[in-house]
Amino acid sequence: MRDHEDILVFTEFKDGHPLKVGLEILSKARGLADEMSGGLYAMVLTDRADGFDMLFKYGADRVYAGIDESFRYYTGAYFSRMAVSLVENIKPYAFIIGATAMGSMFAPEVAAYLKTGLAAHVIDYKIDHAGNLVQVVPSFGSRVAAEILTPHSRPQMSTVRPGTFELKENLRNGSIVHLDTSELDYIAPRVTPLGFEEVKPEGMPLEDAEVVVVGGGGIETREDWENLKELSRLLNGALGCTRPIVDKGWSDEAHMVGTSGKTIKPKVYIGIAVSGSSHHITGMKDSGLVIAINKDENAPIFDVADIRIVADYKEILPALLSMIKG
Ligand SMILES: Cc1cc2nc3c(=O)[nH]c(=O)nc-3n(C[C@H](O)[C@H](O)[C@H](O)COP(=O)(O)OP(=O)(O)OC[C@H]3O[C@@H](n4cnc5c(N)ncnc54)[C@H](O)[C@@H]3O)c2cc1C
């Protein structure tokens, strides 16, 4: 039985701006809150009183803002204390958090304090016939879409990966409620951040690129991998990878596409020596034109490809590079 209909979204801020994933979740949650006749609230912990208008633009009815120097960097204890206090105070039906590096640490900590369930990497939400908010999560290597409910505790918590939902403007004339940060004085965080050094991913971010070249486990040599880099550069695109390439140390998880990596929707996806495991397909299935090069005509990637090239990439790649350069 539902007590409260409201949805609370934690919107992570950086340098006075909300991260896009928070706006994507608000865009999706706006429709859900309307269907449940509830409110849509955004929670922000930031060191600056900037950027809240974006939250109203994407559908928030109210912003709960904690503004304090200590929110400049993520510190588990301060953030989870504020979230637990707010949730206990406003008792939302659902609490949704972006599955960023920070959100993936923050969400389970808050769920543990609140003794409630947490569904990770939700790909869709729907309302069932009884009016419950159902969380859809890929399971068993993405072969099954599991429907998860937290029946006995509130809030029902979940995380959503960047790129899962479309941005949709829905301007609200909302209000800002300032959160009391005085109780932070009584908390001793176990970690005191001294600074923040961002490691910029090499090349264009996968999420922003219109063309993504993905190299898979069939890429044999480092030299071939460098050739894929060149191909992606020549196409003004980004270079992504599958798990075996990360394992070889040629790229990193910031460039991996799939269940435990990024979700991408480029206009053109070019998969080279990628088998098309369900873990990978989950992250690229909404791409526009899908081109696959694989020497195995039965490779599963061909099931989702628009252009299927059954060939050895070692023959195709040099020809492709000289054609584009040429
Ligand atoms: C919980 C979990 C989460 C995971 N998450 C992810 C994820 O987010 N992203 C991800 O990518 N993987 C993920 N994996 C791993 C995933 O299951 C697969 O193992 C991985 O995607 C395989 O990558 P691949 O297809 O590139 O390599 P392989 O399976 O090694 O396939 C290589 C392909 O290259 C082809 N090939 C070989 N040589 C050539 C050639 N010369 N020319 C043309 N084609 C050639 C082969 O025919 C084959 O189809 C996850 C696994 C688990 C268990």
What is the per-residue pLDDT across 38-96, written as a single tens digit (0 to 9) for each?
A: 999 999 999 999 999 999 999 999 999 999 988 988 988 899 999 999 999 999 999 99
Ligand 1 center from residue 215 Cα (angstroms): 9
Nearest ligand 1 atom, CA 245: 26
Tokens representing 285 are 């299935």
The secondary structure of 135-162 as a DSSP string is EEEEETTTTEEEEE---SSSSEEEEE-T
Place of tokens 């609370």: 8
C-alpha span between 106 and 10 (Å, rounded): 10
Ligand 1 center from residue 279 Cα (angstroms): 9
Give CATH 3.40.50.620 domain extents, the chain. Answer: 7-186
Do the Cβ atoms of 12 and 20 come closer than 8 Å?
no
Give CATH 3.40.50.1220 domain extents, the chain. Answer: 206-325
C-alpha span between 309 and 242 (Å, rounded): 19
Average pLDDT rounded to a whole number, residues 114-131:
93
pLDDT tens for each residue of 175-184? 999 999 988 8
For the segment(s) 206-325, the CATH number from 3.40.50.11540, 3.40.50.1220, 2.60.40.770, 3.30.479.30 is: 3.40.50.1220
Q: How far is CA 287 from CA 86, 220, 265, in A?
A: 38, 26, 4
* CATH 3.40.50.850 is held by the domain 7-186: no
Ligand 1 center from residue 252 Cα (angstroms): 15
**Measured from the CB, is residue 142 less than 6 Å from ligand 1?**
no
